[in-house]
Amino acid sequence: MRVGVIGAHASRGWARAVHLPALLSLPDYEITAVAGTSRESARQAADVWGAKHAFADPQELISHPDVDLVTISVQLPRRDGLVEAAISAGKHVYSEWPLARSAEAAERLHALAEQAGVRHAVGLQSRHHPAIGYLRDLVADGKVGEVMSASLTYSLSSPEVWSVRYADLFDHTKGVNHLAVVGGHSMDMFGSAVGHFTEISATLATRIPRITLQETGEQITVTSPDQIAAVGLLESGAAASVHIMTGGPRGEGFLIEVHGRAGRLVLDSADDSLVGPEFTLSFSGGTGGTVVLPVPDRYVPMPSDAPPAVRNVRQVYRNLAAGIPTEPDFLTAVRTHRLIDAIKRSATTGERQHLG
């Protein structure tokens, strides 16, 4: 499958760190085209990654006959129309997360992709983390018995001085704030392991009201939340809670707890990384102590020496090449966007929200 990567760069960026190394390691793929912010930067990226074609205009990449799959690795505010254009051109498409600014917009993209018969994937690849997969199977196989409750807490540091290129993070209208990005990734991991919310109540708060732009010293007002707290019920009927907290000194990272009639599973991380945390999974039964559960080798895709984020993205590409209708696809994105929209509605109205 011949791939064109929008957002490619020779020395920096998410595509350079994750997508391009993942593609380069897969024999089912050939990197044939790249698009960057200028023809010069695209040409440099093409030289590094061995692409035949380099474009400053992503629309040229999308329409090129040598491209079968379009990878869109640019931030949502700079992505207007690209997913639609790829679908209209009959190309398979792998879009970074968030897919859209709302569930309604994500539903429209999913419908377009299905109608066009193209394969589609979204950048919620952390559900392929080996420890998440192992936790999912342990819960499903009854390791803790009937699940009574589950919780996710995610604490990460956040500076109050940021580069201007991250300014969109603090504008709630841009769709790339902590709720969408941090919340979307972490809640998708949580839901894939323990089941999805069917109803939820939420509170949002902004505790850091202003941040400073590093390059100019300008202070801007923060309109997006940095504290996200939600409680509700899962598909199984189990009670569940989510608390995502950002700001202040270094956080403790992920902590997922699953409480069942027969025991408790705890998944925690040694750092607050969002893109590739190292997890420890442990189990405690009713009478025994706590036992660390190493992740079996069968959950770790080969080769295993790549960084976790590269391994996770590589698995998404493997599924795309095989035509396997496996999440995360645009329907995964729709579900996660619906949850985010429900959290926003609940925080605004004070009313409990029901999810289909």
pLDDT in tens, 249-258: 777 788 999 9
pLDDT, average across residues 38-53 = 95
Dihedral sign computed on CA atoms, order 243, 249, 250, 252? negative
If one looks up domain 2-125 in CATH, what number appears?
Answer: 3.40.50.720
Ramachandran quadrant class, 323 (left: phi over 0; alpha: psi -120 to 50; beta: rest):
left
The answer to whether residue 273 scores a pLDDT higher than 90 is no
Please check the confidence at residue 158 and state whether its pLDDT lies above 90. Answer: no
Q: Which residues pair with 347 in a beta bridge?
A: none
Interacting residues of 300 by C-beta distance below 8 A, sequence separation 6+: 130, 311
- The lowest-confidence range among 152-166, 210-224, 253-267, 329-343 is 152-166
**Rounded Cα gap, residues 272 and 248, in angstroms:** 13
Q: What confidence score (pLDDT) does residue 277 get?
A: 79
pLDDT higher than threshold 90 for residue 275: no
Widest CA span in the chain: 65
pLDDT of residue 167 exceeding 80, the answer is yes
296 preceded by cis ω (within 30°)?
no
Span 127-284+329-354: which CATH code? 3.30.360.10
Residues with Cβ < 8 Å from 261, sequence gap 6 or more? 144, 145, 146, 148
- pLDDT 10s digits, 238-248: 999 999 998 88
Domain ranges of the chain: 2-125, 127-284+329-354
Cα–Cα distance, 228 to 330 (Å, whole number): 24
Residue-level pLDDT at 53: 97
Tokens of 283: 């189990």
Q: Rounded to whole angstroms, how far apart are CA atoms 62 and 116? A: 15
Residues 15 and 8: their CA atoms lie apart, in Å, by: 6
Residue 80 has pLDDT above 80, yes or no: yes
Question: Can you give the pLDDT at residue 345?
Answer: 98
pLDDT of residue 48: 95
Q: Is residue 151 over pLDDT 90?
A: yes
Give the residue-averaged pLDDT of 65-72: 98
Task: Count CB-CB contacts under 10 A for residue 153.
Answer: 19
Give the pairing type, strands 2-6 and 30-35. parallel
State the pLDDT at residue 84. 98
Q: Are 194 and 238 in contact (CB under 8 A)?
A: yes
Q: Can you tell me the distance from the alpha carbon of 329 to that of 312, in angstroms, rounded to the nearest whole number?
A: 14
Banded pLDDT at 179 (limits 50, 70, 90): very high
Q: Read off the tokens for 73.
A: 């690795």
For residue 226, give the amino acid letter.
D
b/e code 312-321 from CB counts within 10 Å (16+ = b): bbbbbbbbbb
